[in-house]
Amino acid sequence: MERKNADILIAGGGVAGLTAAAAFGAAGFAVVIVDPAPPVTDAHSDGADLRTTAFLQPAQAFLAKAGIWPRLAGDATPLQIMRIIDAAAHPPVLRDFDASDISDLPFGWNLPNWLLRREIVARLHDLPNVDFRPGTGFAGMVARLDTALVNLTDGTQVNARLVIGADGRASPVRQSLGISATTLRYGQKAVTFAVTHDAPHGNISTEIHRAGGPFTLVPLPDHDGKPCSAVVWMDHGAECLRRAALPPEKFEAEANDRSAWHYGPLKLASKRMVWPIISQIADQITGPRTALVAEAAHVMPPIGAQGLNMSLRDLACLLDLATAKPDDLGAPAMLDSYARQRHPDIRLRVAGIDALNRTSMLGGSTVQDMRARGIAALYGITPVRRTLMQLGLGAG
């Protein structure tokens, strides 16, 4: 049986796992990364993920350190303003949170997930100490005193000092360790798609609230000469499934009504996909020789661009610990430090996004008026507004 020695075995070839491989590889560690499914790196492939990711300032800095950002910068759309609209209020409430209040840089930059995968995979090809094995999955592991022996689905083995589980919300790595997860289900789903519109988006990410969940438009580069945005439309699950099955013209009519015609008429520029909405936290984020990151450790509704940005905070923490004491890679002291630094922050931020999502779901004029007054009040107090923006970027 073939067996390879490595510093790190990463299970999971999504954006988080690929980024982990690039970051640890750039730092000089010998990395093997596996995923049972080859990454989708083309917008027109059947399995293309039509979602986009907004990288906030700390995440962008981490991508630059990993040598990924130079490949992405030319396609990234800056997010200068985060706009919140409560369309259920009478009259509607609109407030803009401008990055210039706290920084010379935008809040972040938006990119399609398929393009992220393509460019990160290209970066991995430049790193001779990274062994990327698409089409091969994690099958099990045995933790020893100094290493973990990992069995792969192709019958080979990797002997690694640290295993990073970046293999999703149903994480086989987490399950192999017997770590459970606490899951909250909202009865919600999200329809994701891209649209063109007449009005320019002005690099503004717009979150429109009514009952059921937010309708979020995130700026993208122009498409066929027209302004373009990615949309995440959250609502009760049955409604999302119904809308996703509508003919395009009927779907566009409902999307226009839900958007309050903020950018004028919306026209579909992609197919539609439906995703379940949950919150989930692993009861532990470490095991023998193992660290859980990204959706293996935490899942939350797509509000405030927190999901993948939290995942990159996991990776940044692990990388700092690994480079500070390379000889302790995967040792109990390193993993204990990772858990102490990350688990409380994960719990706090998941709870915060959970509260925001539940508030957004609520209907009834009294609740909606309270929500609108809350948005106006928080915006109106300058120190509070700035603090909220800094927390959104990951500070504190």
pLDDT digits (tens, 9 = 90+) for 52-99: 888 988 899 999 999 999 999 999 999 998 888 887 777 777 888 888
Please state whether the peptide bond connecting residue 383 to the residue before it is cis, i.e. omega within 30 degrees of 0: no
Report pLDDT for 383: 45
C-alpha span between 257 and 373 (Å, rounded): 23
Helix (H) or strand (E) holding 62: helix 57-65
Confidence at residue 86, expressed as pLDDT on a 0 to 100 scale: 81
CB contact at 8 A, 165 and 296: yes
pLDDT number for residue 305: 67
Contacts of 128 (CB under 8 A, 6+ apart): none
pLDDT of 228 > 70? The answer is yes
Fold of 3-53+111-183+279-358: FAD/NAD(P)-binding domain (3.50.50)
The structure's pTM equals 0.89
- The DSSP line for 325-349 is -GGGTT-HHHHHHHHHHHHHHHHHH
Residue 381 token pair:
């107090």
Lowest mean pLDDT, pick from 70-79, 96-105, 184-193: 96-105
Greatest mean pLDDT range, 99-113, 293-307, 312-326:
312-326
Q: Which residue has the tokens 């990159």?
A: 312
Q: What angle do CA 142, 146, 151 make, to 5 degrees?
A: 30
Contact 321, 337 (CB under 8 A): yes
Instruction: Tell me the per-residue pLDDT of 381-392, one tens digit each, with 9 for 90 and over.
Output: 444 444 444 545
Query: Do 278 and 185 meet the contact criterion of CB atoms below 8 Å apart?
Result: yes
Domain range annotation of the chain? 3-53+111-183+279-358
Residue 349 pLDDT = 86
What's the mean pLDDT when you consider all of the chain? 88
